[in-house]
């Protein structure tokens, strides 16, 4: 309980400071203004007695002596708030009058006692924390380097293992591949032989046509010493009284075209000219059967 008074006014204030185990500020339970004239003869004396029985501690300020002497046989033990305020707040030069106590109490009502962590040696803790972080960074960097090195080493190893596996597979398939190559070579050879036979069968009639045509258009005063069949053309060599007269004769033939000398003609002692001619074969005419 807090008992106080100023001039003719008195007041009783009840505070709950227990808090049920929780740290918190005092809670006001009740407050009763008590005029001085009604204190002794009024019913507030009974209220004071009931509250005094349940109160564990008493504080006072100002004129609180009436509460202690008004009919009480044993006045309660009471602490004066003015000396307590002087010793707690500003010392002996602080509070001079009890009337300052309500104002100071209202100003300090929001303050609470609390604990907080403070590092009185911040450098040591920061250095320790920095060292731990530094070691952690080194460890993570080492793990990263090991992982990168492992990946870099494992990649060529994987490629080497894959290459060896492919080489083993190639060795297994090599006999089959060699057999296929031999068969392919044999097949190509057969194709060439078939093509040659087919060409000979086609050219047999064409050669006969060329020989027949040459025997028909070459005059009796000329004769051929060699004939070379080139597929798309023929080359003939021989002698004649007049070699230049052979070119118009061959050109007029439906079997030959683009007739020309491939070597200069020369006249011998017997008055005959030796010649070398080349004539291209007209395919459309060569393929048509001769009557």
List the chain domain ranges.
2-107, 218-287
pLDDT category, 291, cuts 50, 70, 90? very low
- Going by C-alpha positions, the residue among 232, 234, 233 that lies closest to residue 224 is 234
pLDDT tens track for 205-220: 677 888 888 888 888 8
User: Which residues, listed in sequence order, are joined to residue 280 by a DSSP beta bridge?
Assistant: 233, 257
**Domain 218-287 annotated CATH 3.40.50.720:** no
Q: Identify which has the larger pLDDT, 76 or 209.
A: 209
Reading phi first (left if > 0) and then psi (alpha if -120 to 50, else beta), residue 20 is in left
Q: How far is CA 187 from CA 193, 284, 291, in A?
A: 10, 32, 40
Going edge to edge, which strands form the sheet with 256-267?
A: 223-229, 233-240, 273-281, 256-267
pLDDT category, 187, cuts 50, 70, 90? very high
DSSP state of 268: -
- Going by C-alpha positions, the residue among 273, 229, 268, 271 that lies closest to residue 247 is 273
Question: What is the arithmetic mean of pLDDT over 161-179?
Answer: 87
pLDDT at 227 over 80: yes
C-alpha R_g of the chain: 69
Which range is most confident: 110-119, 140-149, 192-201, 208-217? 140-149
pLDDT category, 185, cuts 50, 70, 90? very high
- Going by C-alpha positions, the residue among 269, 278, 270, 268 that lies closest to residue 246 is 278
Give the span between the Cα atoms of 103 and 113, in whole angstroms.
20
Using DSSP, state whether 56 is helix, strand or coil.
coil
pLDDT at 163 over 80: yes
Beta carbons within 10 angstroms of residue 237's beta carbon: 15
pLDDT category, 16, cuts 50, 70, 90? confident
Phi, psi of 217 (to 5 degrees): -95, -20
Q: For position 290, what pLDDT does the model report?
A: 46
Q: Which residues contact 246 (CB under 8 A, 6 or more apart)?
A: 218, 222, 240, 259, 275, 277
């Amino acid at each position: 309980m807090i008992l106080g008074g100023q001039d003719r006014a008195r007041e009783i204030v009840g505070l709950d400071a227990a808090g049920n185990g929780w740290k918190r500020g005092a809670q006001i339970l009740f407050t009763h203004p008590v005029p001085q004239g009604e204190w002794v003869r009024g019913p507030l004396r009974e209220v004071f007695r009931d509250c005094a029985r349940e109160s564990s501690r008493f504080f006072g300020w100002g004129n609180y002596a009436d509460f202690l002497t008004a009919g009480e046989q044993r006045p309660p033990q009471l602490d004066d708030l003015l000396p307590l305020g002087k010793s707690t707040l500003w010392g002996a030069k602080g509070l001079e009058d009890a009337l300052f106590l309500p104002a100071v109490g209202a100003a300090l009502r929001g303050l609470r006692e609390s604990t907080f962590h403070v590092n009185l040696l911040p450098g040591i803790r920061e250095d320790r924390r920095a060292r731990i972080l530094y070691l952690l960074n080194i460890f993570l960097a080492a793990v990263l380097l090991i992982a990168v090195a492992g990946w870099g080493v494992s990649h060529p190893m994987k490629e080497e293992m894959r290459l060896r596996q492919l080489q083993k597979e190639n060795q297994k398939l090599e006999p089959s591949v060699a057999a296929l190559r031999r068969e392919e070579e044999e097949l190509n050879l057969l194709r060439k032989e078939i093509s040659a036979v087919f060409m000979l069968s086609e050219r047999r009639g064409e050669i006969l046509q060329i020989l027949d045509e040459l025997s028909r258009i070459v005059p009796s005063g000329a004769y051929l010493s060699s004939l070379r069949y080139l597929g798309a053309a023929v080359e003939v060599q021989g002698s004649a009284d007049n070699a230049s007269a052979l070119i118009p004769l061959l050109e007029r033939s439906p079997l030959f075209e683009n007739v020309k000398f491939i070597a200069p003609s020369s006249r011998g002692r017997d008055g005959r000219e030796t010649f070398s001619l080349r004539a291209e074969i007209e395919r459309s005419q060569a393929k048509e059967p001769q009557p």
